[in-house]
Amino acid sequence: MSVTTTPHLNFRGEAAKALEFYQSVFGGQLVLITNEDAHSVETPEEAKQIKFGQVTGADGFQIMAYDVPSGTSYDQGEKSVFISVRGDSADEITELWNKLSAGSAIVEDLGPSGFAPLYGMLKDPFGVVWVLDVAVPWDAS
């Protein structure tokens, strides 16, 4: 058996733009299925909103998103979840940081930390908080 954990983000009318942005940062295949495509239009104004969307990269990156219908309660929250992106090299993380930080609010600048050679936190233009760092093996001894 194989199990994969994939962050699934909820938006209110911005899922397509968010997923297009994430594809521009991480690359990979973009899938956008609208309410109209899925034959599940409840409100005509929401026909072009995303019923199912995802970005899947060859390197294992994967994220999903959809637009919460207007008839359903929704509160994104201030810091309800952080999306963590870990890489093996500072160059890789710096390149992703430079792309992801465009239009984002920097929470903590990318730089050395007490637990990683490179760490940073930002809130992207869609309100999602991202943590990027260079992974290091943990030695509990």
Q: Give pLDDT tens digits for 29-64.
A: 999 999 999 999 999 999 999 999 999 999 999 999
For residue 78, name the pLDDT band (cuts at 50, 70, 90).
Answer: confident
Q: Which residues of 52-73 are buried (b: 16+ CB within 10 A; e: fewer)?
A: bbbbbeeeebbbbbbbbeeeee
Using the predicted structure, report yes or no on whether residue 81 has a pLDDT greater than 80: yes
For residue 74, name the pLDDT band (cuts at 50, 70, 90).
Answer: confident
Rounded to an integer, what distance in angstroms lies between the CA atom of residue 141 and that of residue 67? 46
pTM of the model: 0.90
Using the predicted structure, report yes or no on whether residue 66 has a pLDDT greater than 90: yes
For residue 44, give the DSSP letter: G
